[in-house]
Chains A and B, each alone.
Chain A
Amino acid sequence: MATTYNNPKITQRIREPLFQVNRVRFRGSRESQCENLETNFLQLDLTRILNELESIDIDILNKLSYLIGEPADVTNAVNLNDGLTYSIDDVNIFIDKDGSVEEALEIDVMNKISSKLSRLLNKIQRLENGN
């Protein structure tokens, strides 16, 4: 799914289960095949819903990672050059540009923004104190 827009066609999609309402069951013969089909459809539907919910769960974590960052490997010295800024695949951004130069869409994680703010606050304090 796209990151910077939402496709209305997907938003408006109405989805129907595989499970079918069979109102004639008691009029015909009670066959196991029919019972099993019903149960199988129900099971398939429930599995699909579960998978979709799990997929949303993972999606939430992935999206949070863009904003907050991912856990670092702390076993050895942490490589801090990585993981502070995320590039989102196939998305570019034009800021104050006429369209001739493009930049990959890079997102600074919270720690990096905090870091920049912290540095700025120190410098402003120094300027205020005339140092």
Chain B
Amino acid sequence: MAINMADILNTKKRDYQYNGPVESSDYNERVEENYKDLVYLYNKSNIIDNKLSQAFERVIKDHKFLSSAVEDLTNRVSALEATSNTISLHSFSQIDYSTLVGSSFAVSGTELLSFDPIYNTISLPKVSSGSFSKLKFTSPTAGQVVPEFFKAKIDTNFAGVDGNGAVIDTTPIYNAILDAPDKVWKRNVIVESTSMAGAQMMLYVKIPAEAAGSLKTNMIKINPYPAFGVDLVSIEYSSKQNPALADSDGWTPLNKKAYYDGTTEAIGKVPPGGWSTTGADTIRNCPPVAFTFPDTDITAIRIKFIQRNYFTELGKAIYTYGLSDLDIRYEKFLSTGRTIIKFTAPDGDVIENVTNVTPKIYNVPSSLISSAFSYRIIYNDSGTYTLSNPGASNSVWIEVTLNMLDDKTAPVLTDLIINYE
């Protein structure tokens, strides 16, 4: 039960004029009030500290075992795949270049492909010093900082409940940029009645070129809030100088070449809003996503969200959506790189022959996959790593090579599937 502090405090206001308390009873009363309040505050602080620790103890244990349940699910999906003699990339612990150090397949540090365990991707090696965020920077003293030039706008002129006289409870929009644990940009739309169209908004963000220096951009990262609870309908960019953050800026879908148009399994892997059928590539209940695209001059982006899910409380419907850790980046990639991924047969099974290796790359058209991706299968033949198949192996290693396309696209490998017999 929440305690109203104002009802508890004993110390009362006094209005002495020209002299202090002249009676001991008044003085005694005051110090007793002060004393009681101090006792209360000391112990209230103590109780809050303990409540926090107890709540955290509960959450951290639940969190840990939910995480274990996810691991269990991973193992079970892996087992299901095995029934069709398929193994895929389940964990980045499968990246196993260290085993081959000293062999002819060793991968040097500079040519090692980068991997991103948040967004589940493998891509070309990155040059750290040439890569930077366009929206924020990190100060050694202040942590993440959003430059003063940052400008953003929300447009709610869409069907649905947002903006049509609804009560809005929101945190500052620049919380969308920061990834501090206590900061998230949330927009609660509180309405009396729901709508089939849900709540809809377009977020416009101007790239503060004054701070970033260059307009060249090739990556966007979006962490919707709540995770797995918001639809991402479109991501578009403008290259107009001094954009007004309005329709008039001229907007191009980030997936302007409509890669994988109509391919269901590409939903969530290509930036939404580029396919020929409007809404077909919407990422429903969107997880954290990152998209890598060719070097592009970008002055602003706009992202459309729909929230179909809502809570009800005290007779009102509450639609919540927002973002955290939005980033628009330029990543400097090397033109080529390699890594080695280990695939182990399920217990009691062996890999006699790898019949197929299928990369899942969605930012490169099918016609150019063979330019962007190549592989070799490495076997362990009695302690010697070789390309010759010894016949039956518990594990095989796939050496993956990625190459940058002519338009400077860094291919992003989202999964690698091998079929074996």
Q: Which residues of A contact B (CB under 8 A)?
A: 1, 3-6, 10-11, 13-17, 19-23, 25-27, 38, 42, 45, 48-49, 52-53, 55-56, 59-61, 63-77, 79-81, 84, 93, 95, 105, 107-108, 110-127, 129, 131
Cβ of A57 to closest chain B Cβ, rounded Å: 10
What's the least CB distance linking A131 to chain B, in Å?
Answer: 7
| 0/1 interface trace, chain B 27-41, chain A, CB 8 Å (1 if under) | 110011011001101
Number of A-B residue pairs at CB separation under 8 A = 195
Please report the C-alpha to C-alpha distance between residue A76 and residue B129 in the assembled complex, in whole angstroms.
5
Contact present for A111 and B60 (CB under 8 Å): no
- Chain A residue nearest in CB terms to B116: A80
Contacts of B46 in A (CB 8 A): 13, 15, 52
The 4 closest A-B pairs by CB, nearest first: A26-B24, A17-B38, A118-B287, A77-B131
What A residues does B182 contact at CB under 8 A? 60-61, 64
Whether A127 pairs with B59 at a CB distance below 8 angstroms is: no
The answer to whether B74 and A120 have CB atoms under 8 Å apart is yes
A22 contacts which chain B residues (CB < 8 A)? 31
Residues of B within 8 A of A75 (CB): 132-133, 137-138
B56 near A115 with CB under 8 A, answer no
Is B192 interfacial (CB 8 A cutoff)?
Answer: no
Separation of A14 and B41 alpha carbons in the complex (Å) = 11
Q: How far is the CB of B299 from chain A (nearest CB, A)?
A: 20
Does B327 count as interface, using CB distance less than 8 angstroms?
Answer: yes
B184 to chain A, nearest CB (A): 9
- Residue from B23, B114, B227 with most neighbouring chain A CB atoms (10 Å): B227
Are B45's CB and A52's CB within 8 A? Answer: yes
Q: Is the pair A115, B131 in contact by a Cβ cutoff of 8 Å?
A: no
* Nearest CB on A from B156, distance (A): 27
A20: B residues at CB distance < 8 A = 35
A-B contact pairs, 30 of them (CB 8 A): A6-B50, A6-B53, A15-B46, A16-B39, A17-B39, A22-B31, A25-B27, A27-B24, A42-B34, A45-B38, A56-B48, A68-B181, A72-B179, A74-B138, A74-B327, A75-B138, A76-B129, A77-B114, A77-B127, A79-B128, A107-B64, A112-B117, A114-B288, A115-B118, A118-B288, A122-B414, A123-B81, A123-B88, A127-B77, A129-B264
